[in-house]
Copies of this chain bind each other. A is one copy, B any other.
Amino acid sequence: MSLSMYQASVPVFIRMLGNLRRLLEKGAAYADIRKFDATALPDSRLFADMFPLSRQVQIATDNAKGCAARLAGIEPPKFEDSERTIPELIDRLDKTLAFLQTLQPSQIDGSEERPITLQLRSGTLNFNGQSYLLHFALPNFYFHVTTAYNLLRHNGVEIGKPDFLGRD
């Protein structure tokens, strides 16, 4: 077995978004015990001009479905960014996981040299598939999943590294 573009992307996204789902469930249980408002955790930030938890989860799902779809050369599903509560964020994770699970290795394997163009507010970025996956999509994805973890942890939710990694 040789490392492939599919193995380095879709199963990683599926595993980490499943972990994020369980982290959010623990956040919801904690918010319930502590009687937080339904939007208190989703609205929380690590600094005033950072994105709140809700946006971190939205971007993590956008990173995952956008990366997988670009590597496969298809259009990703679009979501509205209207989630305000943890159950709504979990629903977005589930929709993203359902999309990722439709992708076959044959759609993504061999995409190392596929030209990938991103239009960002700051300008246009050009990559090949491998450099896009390794040096843009994965670091971005992990950034937002980790920041979601850090926001829950910063607010006292009892989670640990095994929850983040998805180990028993």
Contact = CB atoms under 8 A, between A and B. Distances in A.
A156 interface: yes
Nearest to A146: B146
Contacts of A87: none
Contacts of A167: 125
Contacts of A143: 142, 146, 149, 161, 164
B153 A142 contact: no
Chain A residues touching B, majority SS: helix
Contact of A1 (B47, B130, B138): B130
Interface string A1-28: 1111101100110011000000000000
Interface of A: 1-5, 7-8, 11-12, 15-16, 46-47, 50, 112-113, 122, 125, 130, 134-136, 138-140, 142-143, 146-147, 149-150, 153-154, 156, 161-162, 164-167
A139 B16 contact: yes
B139 A165 contact: yes
5 contacts: A3-B8, A140-B161, A142-B146, A143-B164, A146-B147
Contact of A139 (B4, B7, B142): B142
Given A3-B3, A12-B134, A143-B146, A47 B153 contact: yes
Contact of A138 (B136, B138, B150): B138
A154 B46 contact: yes
A143 to B, nearest CB: 5
Nearest to A157: B47
A131 to B, nearest CB: 9
